[in-house]
């Protein structure tokens, strides 16, 4: 099937633990995480009850999950990438302590330096520098931290796709994902919905009504307001290795000033991308990909250099595993534990 994006040739043979039907459903939910089962079934040629059961099986096994999180737009909040060097024998203690910090949204374990790579959400630069970073630096087992601030998030994990659908199916799910935008201010009471949607991005108004003790009409109105505000990014995530991409690699690079947007667009068709961001620091461009084998790191580097003239790949960092991904805690095999340490709501 053609996803409309580019594939790298001969990138190994992944061990995929999802059926073709699973992959098709998950790709559809990556595009439209809250798609009703009835409409999804029409697109996939399945029965709604079958899709619901398939999703519940994947979700209960920790193989896939849907969460909602703040978008991480540097124009509205602070998004920082923090590299952590641990004391000898201190990585496990540091990881456990850092995972409990709500602002530390993602933790990746590096194969070399850094020991841990963190993604941090903060309300302001002052909060990030005077509260969150000191909290990270003081955690047991942490020896040194280095911070890079994100100045532009070109692409994130929410846009990564499995490429299991054809063009017509992608277009149909994309239509389901469209929501009429609402430009007004989001009432403070709506922020109570954020932890619920972080735990279950498909939570219904009835679910919210029961959990918050609000009337069904109020819950429906507030849910609609949150969804149409665009304040949240919904994503359907999968257990990385089980989906056939056991290797994650991050590159710290330098791109000539003024060429960042063009560089991001040039590599936008590579579906292995998980992150493209402009940053402060000695390097100014960060890229992350999910790959099939370690050997694919060199293939990816060649692809980046072909598509971005003038890019300097300063450092490549292979990640052993993720411990936490946008608040969701993960097991060593990449499946979710079901535990969530959600980011604090950033209310204007």
What pLDDT was estimated at residue 347?
Answer: 47
User: What is the tens place of the pLDDT at every residue in 141-198?
Assistant: 999 999 999 999 999 998 999 989 999 999 999 999 998 887 778 899 999 999 999 9
What pLDDT was estimated at residue 186?
Answer: 87
Report the Cα 291 to chain-centroid distance in Å. 16
The mean per-residue pLDDT over the stretch 40-52 comes to 98
What pLDDT was estimated at residue 181?
Answer: 82
What pLDDT was estimated at residue 16?
Answer: 58
What pLDDT was estimated at residue 9?
Answer: 34
- pLDDT of residue 14 exceeding 70, the answer is no
Do 81 and 319 meet the contact criterion of CB atoms below 8 Å apart?
no
Phi-psi region of 282 (alpha: psi -120 to 50; beta: other; left: phi over 0): alpha
pTM (global) more than 0.85: yes
Residue 346 — pLDDT band, cuts 50, 70, 90? low
In sequence order, the 6+-apart residues with CB closer than 8 A to the CB of 276 are 153, 154, 155, 264, 267, 268, 285, 286, 287
- pLDDT of residue 11 exceeding 60, the answer is no
Q: Where are the domains of the chain?
A: 180-229
3-state secondary structure 264-287: HHHCCCECCEEEEEEECCCCCEEE
What pLDDT was estimated at residue 183?
Answer: 74
- pLDDT of residue 62 exceeding 50, the answer is yes
- pLDDT of residue 3 exceeding 50, the answer is no
Strands 247-254 and 336-340: unpaired
Query: What percent of the chain stands above pLDDT 90?
Result: 82
- pLDDT of residue 7 exceeding 50, the answer is no
In sequence order, the 6+-apart residues with CB closer than 8 A to the CB of 136 are 82, 84, 98, 101, 104, 118, 120, 142, 145
Residue 71 — pLDDT band, cuts 50, 70, 90? confident
- pLDDT of residue 273 exceeding 50, the answer is yes
CATH 1.10.10, domain 180-229, yes or no = yes
> 332 by DSSP, 3-state: which?
coil
Do 194 and 342 meet the contact criterion of CB atoms below 8 Å apart?
yes
Task: Kindly provide the residue ranges of all beta strands, DSSP E only, lying in 126-231, ordered along the sequence.
Answer: 142-155
Residue 94 — pLDDT band, cuts 50, 70, 90? very high
């Amino acid at each position: 099937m053609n996803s409309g994006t580019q594939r790298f040739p001969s990138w190994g043979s992944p061990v995929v633990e999802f059926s073709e039907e699973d992959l098709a459903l998950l790709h559809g939910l990556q595009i439209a995480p809250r798609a009703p089962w009835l409409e999804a079934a029409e697109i996939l040629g399945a029965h709604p009850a079958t899709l619901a059961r398939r999703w519940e099986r994947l979700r209960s096994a920790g193989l896939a999950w849907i969460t909602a999180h703040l978008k991480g737009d540097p124009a509205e909040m602070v998004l920082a990438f923090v590299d952590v060097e641990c004391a000898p024998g201190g990585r496990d203690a540091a990881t456990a302590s850092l995972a409990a910090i709500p602002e530390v949204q993602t933790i990746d374990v590096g194969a070399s330096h850094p020991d841990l790579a963190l993604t941090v959400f903060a309300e302001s630069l002052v909060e990030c520098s005077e509260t969150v970073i000191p909290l990270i630096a003081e955690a047991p087992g942490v020896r040194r931290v280095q911070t890079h601030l994100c100045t532009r998030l070109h692409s994130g994990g929410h846009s990564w796709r499995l490429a299991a659908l054809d063009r017509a199916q992608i277009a149909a799910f994309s239509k389901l994902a469209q929501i009429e935008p609402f430009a007004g201010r989001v009432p403070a009471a709506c922020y109570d919905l954020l932890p619920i949607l972080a735990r279950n991005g498909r939570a219904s108004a009835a679910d919210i009504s029961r959990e918050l003790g609000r009337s069904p009409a109020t819950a429906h109105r507030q849910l609609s307001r949150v969804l149409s505000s665009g304040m949240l990014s919904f994503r359907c995530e999968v257990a990385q290795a089980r989906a056939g991409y056991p290797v994650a690699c991050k590159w710290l690079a330098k791109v000539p000033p003024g060429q960042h947007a063009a560089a991001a667009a040039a590599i936008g068709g590579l579906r292995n991308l998980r992150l493209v961001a402009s940053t402060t620091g000695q390097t100014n461009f960060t890229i992350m990909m999910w790959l099939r084998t370690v050997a694919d790191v060199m293939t990816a580097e060649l692809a980046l250099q072909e598509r971005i003239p003038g890019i300097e790949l300063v450092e490549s960092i292979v990640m052993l595993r993720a411990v936490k991904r946008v608040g969701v805690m993960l097991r060593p095999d990449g499946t979710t534990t079901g535990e969530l340490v959600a980011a604090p709501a950033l209310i204007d």
